A and B are shown apart, each in its own frame.
Chain A
Amino acid sequence: MTFWIAIIGASLIAFGLKFTGYTVPPAVLEKPRVSRVTTLLPAALLAALVVMQTFTTGSQLVLDARAAGLLVAAVALLLRAPFLVVVVAAAATAAGLRLLGLP
């Protein structure tokens, strides 16, 4: 029962948090200062997601096969490879290195 209470409670809050973002009136978002910020937000969020996804495990900064995968992805992007090739190349790099025993 405890688990169900936690599941329902966490789910309600999670949905509330997601929903809140959509309740801000458009007029607020169209103000020049606000729109300058929202134009820059994607770069900041995507860069942070790259860091979180590649270099962290829980609350620890780590360097493992994911970093090599990201490096290969960057090279593929420099060579203007298509999205799917970039993603698969990174996965194959990390999988290969782990096969060789890297973390």
Chain B
Amino acid sequence: MATRADSADPQRRAVIRQGLSVAIATSLYGISFGALGVASGFTIWQTCAISLLLFSGGSQFALIGVLGGGGGIGAAIAASSLLGVRNTLYGLQLTTTLKPRGLMRIPTAQMTIDESTAVAIAQETLPHKRLGFWVTGVGIYAGWNIMTLVGALAGNAIGDPKTYGLDAAASAAFLALLWPRLHRREPVAVAIAAAFVAAILVPVTPVGIPVIAAALVAVAFGLFRRFGDGDATAPDPRRTPGDPT
């Protein structure tokens, strides 16, 4: 991790700002989850336990949605788990960056969600990737659980986070994280193809599948490129290391 000497590094501060703004926008959604949990017939304790133990937004909403709607345990667990499969992909992506050992693998795994992965993989250097992961992951874990409790206690009194445009804030955050990667032709092609595949699958597959299918687009491109120009693994000379743009 970082030493005091580089705490003045502007890029580090940029990563912390990114992580915290994503964490705040996401955490406020915990209010919705808390309110919806109690409204779906869960106790305050149960609602908070879901955020503490399950800790994966989509899976949590799926679980209370199915159970609250009268579905069985099997269906609820299946819906929740299907949404969680992408976290396995995220771990695969992060394992060489974070290199968790021993007991550290437990918090590392638990913090592995869309947002912490997105902020981590968007950074250029290993220390910045790790910093992005932990600032975002710990920030959301703390914020999400506090806001779940607030939502469960206050019910719908606070109102819908959509009113404040927080869902659009999350969209913008993901786009801003993707943006610096769009300077080379190949990632642009992959991003467009992945977005297209995800979009067309949304209406016809269970929730959670589109993101996994989008990952398969990257797999296809990665394997296909060996038939293209000689050395696909060579770094792009136009891209200077450490240049965030």
Residues of B close to A91: CB separation below 8 A: 25, 164-166, 168-169, 172
A9 to B173, CA, bound (A): 32
Q: Contact: A49 with B211, CB < 8 Å?
A: yes
| Min CB–CB distance B141 → chain A (angstroms) | 13
Q: Contact: A83 with B17, CB < 8 Å?
A: yes
Question: B122 at the A/B interface (Cβ < 8 Å)?
Answer: yes
Residues of B close to A38: CB separation below 8 A: 92-93, 222
Question: A21 at the A/B interface (Cβ < 8 Å)?
Answer: yes
Could you say which of B89, B167, B206 has the most chain A C-beta atoms within 10 Å of its C-beta?
Answer: B167
Q: Contact: B218 with A21, CB < 8 Å?
A: no
For the residues of B in contact with A, the DSSP-based class is helix
Q: A8-B53, A20-B88, A86-B172 are in contact. Are A43 and B178 (CB under 8 A)?
A: yes
Residue of A nearest to B208 (CB): A52
Question: B108 at the A/B interface (Cβ < 8 Å)?
Answer: yes
Q: Contact: A4 with B168, CB < 8 Å?
A: no
Question: B190 at the A/B interface (Cβ < 8 Å)?
Answer: yes
Q: Contact: A17 with B165, CB < 8 Å?
A: no
A88 to B14, CA, bound (A): 16
Residues of A close to B182: CB separation below 8 A: 43
Residues of A close to B172: CB separation below 8 A: 69-70, 72-73, 76, 86-87, 89-91
Per-residue CB contact flags for chain B residues 175-207 toward chain A (1 = under 8 Å, else 0) read 111110110001110111111011100110111
A37 to B86, CA, bound (A): 16
Q: Contact: B203 with A21, CB < 8 Å?
A: no
Contacting residues of chain A (1-45) with chain B, CB-CB under 8 angstroms: 2-11, 13-15, 17-22, 24, 26, 29-30, 32-33, 35-45
For the residues of A in contact with B, the DSSP-based class is helix
Could you say which of B67, B169, B172, B225 has the most chain A C-beta atoms within 10 Å of its C-beta?
Answer: B172
Per-residue CB contact flags for chain B residues 218-232 toward chain A (1 = under 8 Å, else 0) read 110111011000001
A3 to B48, CA, bound (A): 13
Contacting residues of chain A (80-97) with chain B, CB-CB under 8 angstroms: 80, 82-84, 86-96
Find B18's partner among A29, A60, A83 (CB 8 Å cutoff): A83
Q: Contact: B109 with A18, CB < 8 Å?
A: yes
User: Can you list 28 contacts pairing A with B, beta carbon distance less than 8 Å?
Assistant: A7-B49, A15-B110, A18-B84, A18-B87, A18-B88, A18-B91, A19-B105, A22-B94, A22-B109, A24-B95, A36-B233, A38-B93, A38-B222, A40-B218, A40-B222, A42-B93, A43-B187, A44-B190, A48-B194, A51-B195, A53-B170, A61-B202, A66-B171, A73-B171, A73-B176, A86-B175, A90-B172, A95-B165
B-binding residues in A (CB < 8 A):
2-11, 13-15, 17-22, 24, 26, 29-30, 32-33, 35-56, 58-61, 65-66, 68-70, 72-74, 76-77, 80, 82-84, 86-96, 98
